[in-house]
Amino acid sequence: MSRTKIGVLISGGGTNLQSIIDNIDKGNINGEIKLIISNKRDAYGLERGKKAGIQSIFLSPSDYSDFQSYNRKLIEEFKKRDVELIVLAGYLKILSKDFVSEYKDRIINIHPSLIPSFCGKGYYGDRVHQAVLDYGCKITGATVHFVDEDADTGPIILQEAVRVHEDDTVESLQKKVLEIEHQILVEAVSLFCAGKLRVEGRLVKTNRGDNCETRTN
């Protein structure tokens, strides 16, 4: 089976990106990252990519006339390399309708909560974990989903839960959730590259016959 060509969009440190790189190297993902693009010049994920020998570039949205033009440039760069799967690994911008249409059911995102809780506009990074603590939740977690035209509303691929303890802080909760982010993002990418994900409406089916995997740590 040929290796799936992967494109990655990032905005920050790229720890989820590193997990994908490491698991490709270990043979756990039948894929190859062809291009990494960041909308932030100082995103450390770009350095991670370069160290792994992957073409990694910064494209500034301010260099383009509008949101649509920037997204058309992203599409152009990925299409040049015949990219088949787009992974959003901490990418903090919304994709255009044209982008989502071009890669329908081929864009995977990771979000640090159990969607549909604490997701959508304004919920990213530490804001998510603070909201979980402020609400008094006993369980939170992470979700991998396909991207549609709205924020965090696409079909769910995998989920995993972690317990929220009374002494948890934003920092401690973020650390626990990030650990499972690395696990389920890698698993979702691996399943896609193996041809084992099928979307039927809101249901994502795998060869295991379920639409999500939920474990509570």
Indicate if 145 belongs to the active site: no
Give the CB-side neighbour count of residue 156, counting CA atoms within 13 A.
17
Identify the sign of the CA torsion 42, 48, 51, 55.
negative
Out of 111, 129, 145, 182, pick the active-site residue: 111
Residues with Cβ within 8 Å of residue 32, at least 6 apart in sequence:
3, 4, 5, 6, 24
Residue 212: CB atoms within 10 Å:
18
Residue for token digits 């911008």?
A: 93
Amino acid (1-letter code) at residue 176: K
Give the CB-side neighbour count of residue 115, counting CA atoms within 13 A.
26
Are 114 and 141 in contact by the 8 Å Cβ rule? The answer is yes
List residues with catalytic annotation: 111
